[in-house]
Structure 1
Amino acid sequence: MTSTSPQRPPGAPVPDGTPAPGTDKEICDSEPKDPPIPLRRLPGFRWFWMSRAASGLGSAVTAVALPVLTFQETRSPLMVSLVAAAGTLPYVVFGLIAGAVADRTDRRRLMIATDWLNAACLASVPLAAALGVLTGGHLVAVALASAALGLFFDAGVYGFVPDIVGKDNLAGANSALYGAETVVRIAGNALAGGLILLFQPARTLALDALSFAVSALLIKAVARTAQRPGAPAGHRPAFGESVREGLRFLLRHPTLRVMALVGTLQSFSGGAIVGQLAVFADRVLGVHGSDGRIGLLYTAWSAGGIGGSVLLPRLRRRFAAFPLLLGVLPVGAVLGLVLVRTSDWRIALLALAAWGSAYLVVLVNTMTYSQEVTPAELQGRVNTTRRMLSSGLGVPLGALVAGTLTVRVGVQAGMSTAVVAIALAAAVVWGVQVRRWAGTRTRT
């Protein structure tokens, strides 16, 4: 049987949700937003924000305690490296699978289940330590399992947040979530040292287990939203086709695929900066490991993210997502160049804070745009694929390339890879914009 469809007007979306080829809508993305509903008026978001803050605080403590515990138990730098690598490996291995699972299940239930499983996973560490059976292999397995569960949780978040706040409120909601995450990460890292001394590293992980349990209860308190949109269970495509459907949407959407590339390059720069900052501080700024100023440098980078979370909602009310990148990416490249070329720790401190703000504006802007243009039934697949490219590929590759150049050439060369990555991202978006302008003039 054949069917006919009505004539699609110029610029209308094609069936897979991408803009029609040959129209300004290919790059001219969502318009600047009207003032959104205050998030405090959305009770579901309040519960969810608290769940993220609670879980983030526990995870920030574990980020310090788990490597310390691993070295304490094994005395092996290799085992510590394996624990660190386990945090990003799931994005590469399970990224596409997690997105498909989130789009085929109740996202709220998925997040609650993964929180409870993560609580049990982390609670196994103090239990094993108390029984005298804790091993390095156990710690690596816990790091890997916890990161994998977190990935499945995040896959649910991408569609859950638009459900509870609406797409018009996404910029403010994502900024509030990232801002809270940054604040609790700074607080958790600062608390970790004292907690390790007070309770020992293994027992400290019980706090993270408790934070996941609290998060599960808070998410359960979020009132159920409308049923997740999508095809009825009997009409779902096969799992492999479901994965390919998400990939096709990302690759065929002209603006979204550019945004994905920009996000990957931006994450590459972040991996390079964080991976080499201690070496740069020691060899160029004269700030050594025992110097308290090293903590200020790391805090400046994180605190800059708080500034970015405050700026983004205001910027998105004035600029659409793609034009915003045209200004912020070159600014980030200039700030990175200032950092790499200075030998004054005070200038480096200011440059790191400002760069951290620009860095977060770009990442949250790209994520928000992706949630805005992706159909509800594809949120998990499209956004975990994008996250797989940035967190699973960009961050570790940036750290590896910068580290290799630092060893072979010098730390300033290693840090410069971050500047090159952002400059390349700026060149990409400006090249696309110039081509769009040229196409518009040709058609007129």
Structure 2
Amino acid sequence: MPTPRTPGAFWWLWTSSALSNLADGVLKMAVPLVALRYTDSPAQIAGLSLAMGLPWLLVALPAGALVDRWDRRRTMLVANTVRTLVLVVVLGVAMGGHASMAWLYAAALVVGVAEVFYDTTAQSILPQVVGRDALPRANGRLMAAELTANQFVGPPLGGLLAAAGVGLAFGVPAGAWALAVVALVAVRGTFRTPVDASAPRTSLRADVAEGLRFLWTRPALRSLAFMTGLQNLASTAAGAVFVLWAVGPGSALGLSEPGYGLLGTTLAVGAVGGSLVAARVADRAGLTLTLAVSVLASAAMLAVPAVTSQIVLVGASYLAAGLGMALWNVTVVSLRQRLTPDRLLGRVNSAYRLLAWGTIPIGAAVGGLLAELSGIRVVLLASAALTVVTLVLLPAITAAGMGETEATNEATTEQGPDAVTDPVPAVATPGMPVRGAEDA
């Protein structure tokens, strides 16, 4: 079967995504460092991360419904324009000597809301840009760019810029978002989902409910959301206390701070490399084997440091987990995009992420409490075990995916332009947010 051609518009979208993620990576490192100029309170510093992440809990569902109503390219343009203007305003306030923690909180909250709209739209617009046959390959390329910009380049650059001054710390990400807007302008066309003019107009609440109902009544998508949520709970529980296990002369691994950073980079290297080959691997291995390998690689990353202090083995488990992370994300995102009608993509993406990421704060709390009661080794092994247990959902996902693909075929015939136009057999379909399993 010939490889689907990637349209030129995709590369403008890819450029915009890379620039946006570069700005994200810089800002999320620079903001707490800049905040040290105004406070030394750990609670106030941590509150900035909360302000940036809170919009995912507060506005994800209505944002998904609005994304399905609005032109998706214009939504992304507005989101990045808002982020640019917010940083310009805060930069002006800071240069005038009037900045404070209140200004940083307000900026973090607005930037977080804009991020929800941008990220939800970015996943929803892709099938309209490349077509559904090209989704695995396109998602792999996007993920490689996002990881490189957000994980490799952005954080160290943000640290350097914050040390150089507030002007660069806020000016560079503002410039990156502005350039991302320019790249999006080059993506020509209208990206509004088709609307039946004869159908009565629905309320925003009804639209949100329709997206939730679609996700809940599709066993494959629902099971994947729960599977991702459990993996994110496990990985966050371990990650919340792992630094105590790894860093310092009295720790189990005895790493220095730079060594700990290098270990994290090993994970990102695997993820970037995996993103480039994920579509081909998933196409040859099939859905079930691809997801099983991804889950086992994540479990190994959690278990290996608990049973050995050999850093080569620990590093190898991190590299393998990064590869598995990329396989999971490309496969699951592509599957969700192909099984969901275009008119529902924004709502289903936001509902899925709410379920998949809602366990992250729970995992952090559970990990800290369990470590206090039973020790860090128990947290690592329990997290690995929970990750493996999620494999029990795989047979149901495969069987349901086949049935949902058949239903998609029928919908394509009967429902016209709102239906999924290029269904894929579930067993051949490719799919952690580096924030967790996506999806991680």
Name the TM-score class by shorter chain: 0.7 to 0.9
RMSD: 2.3
Q: What letter matches 1:247 in structure 2?
A: L
Cα displacement string for residues 142-177 of structure 1 (whole angstroms, at most 9, x for unaligned residues): 112111111011221222110001111111111111
Query: Distance between the aligned counterparts of 1:131 and 1:159, measured in 2?
Result: 40
Counterpart among 99, 123, 126 of residue 134 in structure 1: 99
Measured after TM superposition, the shift of residue 387 of structure 1 is: 1.2
Per-residue Cα deviation, 1:67-116 (whole angstroms, up to 9, x for no partner): 11123311110011111122321111111101000001111111101110
CA distance, structure 1, for counterparts of residue 382 and residue 95 of structure 2: 45
Q: Kindly tell me: are residues 433 and 372 of structure 1, through their superposed partners in 2, closer, same or farther at Cα, counting changes over 3 Å?
A: closer
Q: What is the aligned partner in structure 1 of residue 330 from structure 2?
A: 364
1:412 aligns with 2:366: no
Matches within 5 A, 1:105-144: 105-144=70-109
Question: Which residue is equivalent to 2:135?
Answer: 170
* 1:335 Cα deviation after fit: 4.1
Q: Does the C-alpha gap of structure 1 residues 62 and 236 become closer, same or farther in structure 2, counting only changes over 3 Å?
A: same
Give the Cα separation in 2 of the matches to 1:411 and 1:49: 40
CA–CA distance in structure 2, aligned partners of residues 347 and 201 of structure 1: 41
Structure 1 range deviating more: 405-414 or 84-93: 405-414
Cα pair distance change 1:436/1:140, threshold 3 Å: closer
Q: Aligned residue pairs: how many? A: 398
Could you say what secondary structure the match of 1:284 adopts?
coil
Partner residue in 1 for 2:295: 329
1:232 equivalent to 2:197? Answer yes
Query: Structure 1's 273 and 36: CA in aligned 2 closer, same or farther, altered over 3 A?
Result: farther
Separation of aligned partners in 2, 1:128 and 1:233: 50
Question: Equivalent of 1:191, from 157, 170, 180?
Answer: 157
The corresponding residue for 1:28 is none
Contact 2:297 2:320 survives alignment (8 Å)? no
TM-score w.r.t. the length of structure 1 is 0.84
Q: Encode CA deviations 1:317-350: one digit per residue, 9 max, x unaligned.
A: 2244345323432343234322332212222112
Cα deviation for residue 268 of structure 1 reads 2.5
Superposed, which structure 2 residues align to 1:290-369 within 5 Å?
292-369=258-335
Q: Is the alpha carbon distance of 1:417 and 1:235 closer, same or farther for their aligned partners in structure 2, counting shifts above 3 Å?
A: farther
Q: How does 1:277-292 map to 2 (within 5 A)?
A: 277-282=242-247, 283-289=251-257, 292=258
Corresponding residue to 1:221 among 186, 200, 213: 186
Contact 1:62–1:204 (8 Å) recurs in 2:
yes
Shift of 1:435: 10
Alignment of 1:384-423 (within 5 A): 384-391=350-357, 393-423=358-388
Cα distance in 2 for partners of 1:237, 1:374 equals: 20
**Secondary structure of 1:74's aligned partner:** coil
| Alpha-carbon distance between aligned partners in 1 of 2:400 and 2:59, rounded to the nearest angstrom | 36
Query: Counterpart amino acid of 1:286?
Result: G
Are residues 350 and 38 of structure 1, via their aligned partners in 2, closer, same or farther at CA, if it must alter by over 3 Å?
farther
Deviation at 1:210, TM superposition (A): 1.2
Matched position secondary structure for 1:223: coil
Residue 277 (structure 1) shift: 3.4
Q: 2: CA distance between counterparts of 1:178 and 1:389? A: 21
Equivalent residue in structure 2 for 1:428, among 393, 417, 427: 393
Give the CA deviation at 1:302. 1.6
Give the Cα–Cα distance (whole angstroms) in 2 for the partners of residues 55 and 211 of structure 1.
7
Q: Hey, what does 2:411 align to over in structure 1?
A: none
Q: Which amino acid aligns with 1:67?
A: P
Between 427-436 and 371-380, the greater mean CA deviation after superposition = 427-436
CA distance in 1, matches of 2:394, 2:169: 45
SS in structure 1 at match of 2:193:
coil
Residue identity matched to 1:316 = A
1:376 and 1:339 map into 2 onto residues whose CA distance is: 43
**Aligned residue number for residue 171 of structure 2:** 206
Q: Match of 1:249?
A: 214
Q: Quick check: 2:293–2:324 contact (8 Å CA) kept in 1?
A: no
Match in the other structure for 1:20: none
Percent identical among aligned pairs is 28
Contact 1:123–1:209 (CA under 8 A) maintained in structure 2? yes
Q: Distance in 1 between matches of 2:360 and 2:368?
A: 12
User: Match for 2:355: what amino acid?
Assistant: L
Q: Match for 2:4 among 37, 41, 44? A: 37
Task: Give the C-alpha shift of residue 417 in structure 1.
Answer: 4.4
- Following superposition, the deviation at residue 35 of structure 1 comes to 4.7
Check if 1:264 corresponds to 2:229. yes
| Alignment partner, residue 345 of structure 2 | 379
Which range is displaced more, 234-243 or 94-103?
234-243
The Cα of 1:413 is off from its aligned counterpart by 2.5
Counterparts of 1:101 and 1:225, CA distance in 2? 16
Within 2, Cα distance between the matches of 1:275 and 1:182?
21
Alpha-carbon distance in structure 1 between the residues aligned to 2:12 and 2:196: 29
Give the unaligned 5+ runs of structure 1.
1-33, 438-444
Name the aligned partner's letter for residue 181 of structure 1: E
Separation in 2, partners of 1:231, 1:279: 57
2:67 corresponds to: 102
What aligned pairs does 1:149-164 form with structure 2 within 5 A after superposition?
149-164=114-129
Q: How does 1:22-61 map to 2 (within 5 A)?
A: 34-39=1-6, 42-61=7-26
